[in-house]
Amino acid sequence: MAHDALLRVEGLTVDFQTSRGLARAVDDVSFSIKRGETLALAGETGCGKSVTARSILRLVPQPPGIYSAGSIYFQGIEESEPLDVLEASEQQVRALRGDRIAMVFQDPSKALNPALTIGRQLGEVFAEHREASVFESAGLGSRSRGASRYLRHRGGLVRRTAYRFTHPSATKRLTEALDERVLQALADTGVPNPRKVMTSYPHELSGGMKQRVMIAQALACDPDLLIADEPTTALDVTIQARILDLLSELQERKGTAILYITHDLSLVRQIADRLAVMYAGRIAEIGDCRDLLSAPLHPYTQGLMNAIPRAETKRGELAAIPGTVPVLIDAPRQCHFVSRCAWAGKACTTHIPGESHPLPDRLVSCLRFESAAAVGAAPGDMPQQYASAEVTT
Amino acid sequence: MTISDDVHVPGAVASRRSLITLRDVAVHYPVKEGVLQRVTSHVKAVDGVSLTIPRGSTVGLVGESGCGKTTLGKVIAGLESPTSGDLWFDLDPSDAEDVDRLRGRDPKSMSGEDREAWQRLQGQHRLGSMSREFQRRYRRNCQVVFQDAFSSLNPRQLVRDIVGRPLRVYNEASGENLNQQVLELLERVGLGPQHLLRYPHQFSGGQRQRISIARALALNPEFIILDEPTSALDVSVQAQILNLLVSLQHEFELTYLFITHDLGVVEHMSDEIAVMYLGRLVEQGPTREVFDNPFHPYTEVLRDSNPSLTGDSVADGHRRLTGSVPNPIDPPTGCRLHPRCPVAVSTCGWRVDDVLEQLEVSSPASFEGIEAVVRSSEFSALIRLTDDDASRAMAEEVTDLRGTLGNVEIDVRREGKELRVNLPEVDDITLEVIEPGRMSACVHAQSGNWWNN
C-alpha cells in the first residue's frame, strides 16, 4: 500500500508561537492519499485541517509556525524517489507548487489578484511551469532570455517593451500561444464565453465564476494532487452543487487526486472516497467515506453526525455536543475530547489514545478501542469498551 | 396560546391570529450616477412580497445570497421602511379580512362603517401609521438576532450593559434589580453569573450568539427575527443554539421568522417556509409538504443541491440552474427564474434581453456585429446590423434559438439590415394558491401541467 501512495503524511506536528506559549495546531497527524482518490479532511473551526493542508505545500509562514516533527512524502510520477516536502529546498518546493500540487482556496475573491486580468493570472501559471512547451507551440525553438522575461512579465517595463519592439513577430506568437492555453484551460472548466472572461478583472465575475477560474488555474498543469480548502463555503448551494459536479468530472477526466478540506460532513458523501475527521489537531477517525458516515465509531464523529439538523429529528432534540473545543496552548497530555465525551474514563485524562483498527480499513484513535494492558492503565480507569452491537445512525 | 403539534396541520395555520402580515412590500434602492448624482435606476431588493406569519409558529425564509431575505427581515423589524406596500401587526382573522378588502381603496369612497374600521386598523396595526403608543408596543415585541454576533455586540460594553440595555431604555429595571434580571436572562440562555462582567471578545462564537439571544429576550417579546443565527457557527455549537431557540419558543410562546440559506436547518426548525428568489417569493407552504413535493422548480433545485448525509445523493440526474443570478436592477420579466430554469416553457416571460444574452453565448461573432438595439418594449425591439448579409445570418440564428428559450414563438422580420424581433407579452407571474395552504409562482403549477411528467 505504501508504494502506490501519492502523498504520505507521517507524524506531522505543527506549532505556532503565541504570546501565551506554543499552540499545537497539528499534533502527530498521519494519513496517505493514493493516486486518483479523493480524501476529505473534515473538522470544525480550529481543528487544524487548513494548517495540515497548507503544510503539504509548506505554505505555513515561519515564524510563527514551526514544523516540530514529522515528514510529508510526495511521490510524483516523474520522480523515482519520494520527496520530503518539509526537508526539500525552496527551489524544489516552488517547482512543486502549482505544477504537481495545486491548491484552491476558500474565498476566490481574495485569492485572485484584483489588479490583473484573468487571462494574465492564468497565463502566469503556464509561463512559470510550461515555458518550454509555450515556446514550442509559438514556433520559437531556442528561448532567449529576453523572450523568457517577456513571457514571465519579469525584468522591468523598459526591457520588456524594448524586446516587444525589436521582436514584434516573436512576441505576437508567444502571446497567441499563451492565450490559446489559457482559453483551453477556461473552456475545460465550463466557463461560458472564455474569451470575454479572459479580458475581465476578478470583480467583474460572480463568485461561482471566480471559483471556476481558480479551479482552471489550479488544474492548468494537470497536477497529481489538488488541495481544495473549503472551495464552496463562500458560495450558494446551487452554485456549490455545480462546482462539485465540475470537480468530480475533471477528476474523472484527468485522474487528479483531491484532498478536500471541509467543515460540512453532509457534503463529504457526495465527493469523497475516504474521510478523515480531525479534532483539536489530531485525527479522530479515518475510513471509507460511506462506511464511516453510516457507522461512525469515534465518539466525536458520532456527536458531529447527530448534531446535523435533519427533518426526522424532533425539533429541539438535536444531539448537541456539550462544551467547547479546548484551548491548545500548552495542552495537557490527554485525549482532547475528554471534556465533551460521554464515555470518558480516568485513563482518558492521562493517556493520548493511539491508533486502533476495529474494522478493516478504519482507523480510530480512542481508548474505547484499546485494552487496558496495551495502554498501561488500571482496567477500572478505562472508558467503557466499545461493543460492536452499538452502531449508531 | 400554546405551541402544539397542530402547528404542522396545513390549513390550521390560516385560521389563527396573524402576528405579522405583509402586503405587497417592496424595497427599491436608488442607483445614483454622474456628477449630479441623478437617480438612474433602482435596485429592486424586495419587489412585492406578501406574507403572513401566524402567532406561535416558525416561518422559515430561505433563498440564496442577494435575494432580499435580509432586507425583508429589516423591513419587518422596522429598521428599513418599505418603498411601497404595508406591514400589519397583530391582526385577528376578521381584521385581516378587512385589510385585504379595504387596502388600495380610497377612504372617501368607503362606507362609514368601513372608514371607521380602516382608520382603526391604520392607527393601531399598521407599521408607519400607528400611533406612538402602538409603535412602542411593536418595537418591544419585535426583536432581532443577527448573523454576526460579534459585530452586533458593542465591544466596549460589558455583557451586563449589553443585555440590560433594553430594560434600561424601557425603564423596566435599574440598579440591583437590573443585575438580577440580566442574570436571570443569562441563566436562561445557558450562561452564568461569572459572565456578567465580561466583554464580548472574551466569548466564543456560540456564547456570543447566546448573549444576542438574551438581549432579544430581555423585553419579553412575542416575535423574534432570526437572521442567519447559526451560519457562522460550527455544527456542534449550532445544534446547541437551535435546541435553545426551540426551548425558548416553548417557554415564552414566541413566534420566529427564521431567515437562512441552510435548507437542513430550516427543514428542522420551521413549520412553514417561504422561498425567495430575486426579491420575490416563489413558493410558500408547510415545510414538510414543500420539501416532499415542491411546487416550484427553484425549490426543487435548492432541495436537490443541498448535500444530505443520507440517501444516494451523488448529484447525478438532479436538475441544476444554469448561469448566474440576474441583475436586480433589471430583473427578468414574467417568472424571474426563467432564464436559468431547467424546465422553462414558452409562457415563462421571455424578453428581448434573453434573446440577446443567448445570442452572445451561442454566436459571439455575430453578436459583435450588432450596431444598435432599439427597444420599443421588453418584448419587442429593432436590432440594427452592419449589412444585409449579417442581418440575414442573424435572423436564422435568432430563429434557431427557440429551443434554448423554452420553444417560445419568436417573430423575426428582416427589413434590410435591420431585424424586428417580437416576443409574446407576458404579465409578471405572482404567487397563487395552488392547494389550500400552498402557494407557488410557477406557470407549471398554476396551469396544472407538472414539469415532472
The percent of residues in chain A predicted with pLDDT above 70, rounded, is 96
- Residue B224's nearest CA partner among B141, B127, B126 is B141
- How many degrees, rounded to 5, is the angle at CA B176 between CA B175 and CA B178? 70
A238/B320 CB distance under 8 A:
yes
pLDDT confidence of residue B3: 41
* Count of A-B CB contacts under 8 Å: 123
In this predicted structure, what is the pLDDT of residue B6? 40
**What SS3 class is residue B27?**
strand
Which amino acid belongs to residue A97? R
Q: Which of A107, A205, A238 to mutate to test the interface with B (most CBs of B within 10 A)?
A: A238
Rounded to an integer, the average pLDDT of A150-163 is 84
Q: How far apart are CA A43 and CA A264, in angstroms?
A: 8
DSSP state of B349: -
Instruction: Tell me if residue A332 falls in helix, strand or coil.
Output: coil
Place of cell 431588493: B45
Record: contact A240-B305, CB cut-off 8 A: yes
Interface test with A, best of B209, B268, B368 (most A CBs within 10 A): B268
For B236-251, b/e burial (b = at least 16 CB within 10 A) is bbbbbbbbbbbebbee
Distance linking the first and last C-alpha atoms of chain A: 31
pLDDT at position A89 over 80 = yes
Amino acid letter, A189: T
Report pLDDT for A393: 43
Strand arrangement of the beta sheet that strand A21-34 belongs to: A21-34, A5-18, A65-74, A83-84
The x, y and z cell numbers of residue A103, run together, are 491548491
Q: What is the structure's pLDDT at A148?
A: 83
A392 pLDDT exceeds 50?
no
DSSP type of residue A378: -
The nearest alpha carbon in chain B to A319 belongs to B239
- Would you say A393 and A305 are in contact if contact means Cβ atoms under 8 Å apart? yes
DSSP code, position B43: E
Best CA proximity match to A92, nearest among A124, A58, A66:
A58
Residue A237 · residue B302 · CB < 8 Å = yes
> Which of B234, B307, B321 is nearest residue A267 as measured by Cβ atoms?
B307
Cβ atoms of B335 and B442 within 8 Å: the answer is yes
d(C-alpha A362, C-alpha A359), whole Å: 5
Contact residues on chain B for A209, CB-CB shorter than 8 A: 324
ipTM higher than threshold 0.85: no
**What count of residues does chain A have?**
393
What distance in Å separates the CA atoms of residue B247 and residue B188, rounded to the nearest whole number? 10
Chain B residue with minimum CA distance to A45: B234
Q: How many helices (H) and strands (E) does chain B have?
A: 16, 15
Minimal Cβ distance to A241: which of B204, B320, B361: B320
The whole-model pTM stands at 0.86
Phi, psi of A354 (to 5 degrees): -90, -170
If DSSP codes are grouped into helix, strand and coil, which group holds residue B278? Answer: coil
Q: Is A169 exposed, middle or buried (0-12, 13-18, 19+ CB in 10 A)?
A: exposed
Rounded distance between C-alpha atoms, residue A97 and residue A218, angstroms: 10
Q: Cβ contact (<8 Å) for B264 and A238?
A: no
How far is Cα B306 from Cα B317, in angstroms, rounded to an integer? 14
Mutate to test the interface with B, among A195, A212, A237, A249 (most CBs of B within 10 A): A237
% chain B with pLDDT above 70: 94
Cis preceding linkage at A64, omega within 30: yes
C-alpha cell, A177: 500561444
Are the C-beta atoms of residues A384 and A344 closer than 8 Å to each other?
A: no
Cα separation, B221 vs A23, whole angstroms: 43
Burial B370-400 (b: 16+ CB within 10 A, else e): beeeeeeebbbbbbebeeeebbeebbebbee
Contacts A303 to B, Cβ<8 Å: 236
Helical spans, DSSP H, in B52-158: 69-77, 93-102, 112-124, 132-141
Answer whether B309 sits within 8 Å of A266, measured CB to CB. yes
CA A296 – CA A362 distance, rounded (Å): 10
pLDDT digits (tens, 9 = 90+) for A204-234: 888 888 988 999 998 888 889 999 998 888 8
Name the H helices within B218-336.
Answer: 235-252, 263-269, 287-292, 297-305
Q: Which three cell numbers stand for residue B84?
A: 411601497
| Residue of B246, B250, B314 with shortest CB distance to A270 | B314
Phi/psi for A330 (5° steps) reads 50, 45
Residues of B in contact with A293 (CB under 8 A): 309
Contacts of B242 in chain A (CB under 8 A): 309, 316, 318
Instruction: Kindly provide the b/e burial profile for residues A374-384, where b requires at least 16 CB atoms within 10 angstroms of the residue's own CB.
Output: ebebeeebbbe
In whole angstroms, give the CA distance from residue B451 to residue A257: 38
User: DSSP readout, B372-438?
Assistant: EEEEEETTEEEEEESSHHHHHHHHHHHHHGGGGGTT---EEEEETTEEEEE----PPP--EEEETTE
The answer on pLDDT for A81 being more than 90 is no
pLDDT exceeds 70 at position A388: no
Mean pLDDT estimate for chain A = 86
Q: How many CB atoms lie within 10 A of CB A241?
A: 25
Q: What pLDDT is attached to residue B227?
A: 92
CA torsion, points A163, A164, A169, A171, in degrees to nearest 10? 90
**pLDDT at residue A288 tops 50:** yes
* Per-residue pLDDT in tens (0 to 9) along chain B, 453 residues: 444 444 444 444 445 688 999 999 999 999 998 888 898 899 999 999 999 999 999 999 998 888 899 999 999 998 899 999 999 998 888 888 888 888 888 888 888 888 888 999 888 899 888 899 999 999 999 999 988 888 889 999 999 999 999 999 988 888 889 999 999 999 999 898 999 999 999 888 889 999 999 999 999 999 999 999 988 888 888 898 999 999 999 999 999 999 998 888 999 999 999 999 999 999 999 999 999 999 999 999 888 888 877 655 544 567 888 878 888 888 899 899 998 888 888 888 898 888 888 888 888 778 888 888 888 888 888 888 888 888 888 888 888 888 888 888 888 888 888 888 888 888 888 888 998 889 999 988 888 877 764
Looking at the complex, report in whole angstroms how far the Cα of residue A193 sits from the nearest Cα belonging to chain B. 6
Is residue A390 very low, low, confident or very high in pLDDT (cuts 50, 70, 90)? low
- The verdict on a CB contact (< 8 Å) between B315 and A310 is no
SS3 B357: helix
B117: left (phi over 0), alpha (psi -120 to 50) or beta: alpha
Check CB contact under 8 Å for A238 and B314. Answer: no
CA–CA separation, A93 vs B342, rounded Å?
45
pLDDT reported for residue A264: 86
> How many Å apart are CA A106 and CA B38, to the nearest integer?
38
Identity of the residue in A192, A263, A266 whose CB atom sits nearest the CB atom of B234: A263
Cross-chain residue pair A305–B309, CB shorter than 8 Å: yes
Residues B422 and B440: their CA atoms lie apart, in Å, by 28
Please spell the DSSP secondary structure of A42-88, one letter per residue.
E--TTSSHHHHHHHHTT-S-TTTEEEEEEEEEE--SS-SSPEETTTS
**Cα(B284)–Cα(B442) distance, rounded to whole angstroms?**
12
Contact list in B for residue A241 (CB cut-off 8 A) is: 304-305, 315, 318, 320
C-alpha cell at B37: 448624482
Nearest to A304 among B235, B269, B360 (CB): B235
Residue B14 is predicted with a pLDDT of 45
A268: distance to nearest CA of chain B, Å? 8
Residue A49 · residue A42 · CB < 8 Å: yes
Q: Which one of A109, A236, A339, A341 makes the best mutation probe of the B interface by having the most chain B beta carbons within 10 Å?
A: A236
Residue A3 has pLDDT above 60, yes or no: no
Residue A308 clears pLDDT 60, i.e. is over it: yes
Query: What local confidence, expressed as pLDDT, does residue B74 receive?
Result: 92
**Would you mind telling me the total number of residues written for chain B in this entry?**
453
Q: What order of strands is seen across the sheet that includes strand B38-54?
A: B38-54, B18-33, B84-91
CB-CB under 8 Å, A293 with B309: yes
pLDDT digits (tens, 9 = 90+) for B284-308: 999 999 999 999 999 998 888 888 7
Whether A43 shows a pLDDT value over 50: the answer reads yes
A195 chain-B contacts, CB cut-off 8 A: 364
> What pLDDT shows up at residue B8?
41
Our CA-based measurement puts residue A298 at a distance from the nearest CA of chain B, in whole angstroms, of 15
Q: In chain A, how many H helices and how many E strands? A: 15, 11
- What residues in A contact B291, CB-CB < 8 Å? 311
Whether residues A318 and B320 touch (CB distance < 8 A) is answered with no
Tell me the pairing of strands B223-227 and B255-260: parallel
How high is the pLDDT of residue A40? Answer: 93
Specify the pLDDT at position B307.
80
Rounded to whole angstroms, the Cα distance separating B10 from B290 reads: 11
Query: Is B259 strand, coil or helix?
Result: strand
Q: For B125-255, where are the alpha helices, taking DSSP H only?
A: 132-141, 159-169, 175-188, 205-217, 235-252
Give the span between the Cα atoms of A200 and A196, in whole angstroms: 7
